[in-house]
Structure 1
């Protein structure tokens, strides 16, 4: 096999690898912030607070924080 054929095979392998990586990144849950791992999180629940959100809300106070921290519990937070 010539060097040109090896280079073509390597380039094709790299293109396939990048396509698979991009496809996996598109399947990340929408609520998760960029870089937040979901691997050990079987229920796919993000971290509480604005740090775990993909987009930042315009207004965020302590009641919003308490409600976010109580999810997915059925009881409302004590700040209501």
Structure 2
């Protein structure tokens, strides 16, 4: 009987918690506002526009690296002729 009381108290507490936090907006650390897809796998758009904070510098190598993630190989860096 004590186990049922504990289970009921836990379920009631969880339900109350979910009710109290239902309207809070979830913000992901790496995503700009409106970027999170909400699916099981969240992927943001490439580039500084998809980031929450703007990087101090952004060049072609940074762009290529960001676009290639999560690839297993790093992007190729073009050599100057």
* Structure 1 residue 37: Cα displacement: 3.7
Q: What is the TM-score normalised by the length of structure 1?
A: 0.63
TM-score normalised by the chain length of structure 2: 0.62
Which structure shows the bigger proportion of residues in helix conformation? 1
Q: What is the aligned residue count? A: 60
Alpha-carbon displacement from aligned partner over 1:39-79 (angstroms, at most 9, x marks no partner): 34x32121110010000000110000000000000111112
Structure 2, unmatched stretches of 5+, are 1-18
Is the contact between residue 31 and residue 50 of structure 2 (CA under 8 Å) also seen in structure 1? yes
Gaps in structure 1 of 5+ consecutive residues: 1-15
Correspondence 1:1-80 to 2 at 5 A: 19-22=21-24, 25-26=25-26, 28-40=27-39, 42-79=40-77
Give the alignment's Cα RMSD to 1 decimal. 2.0
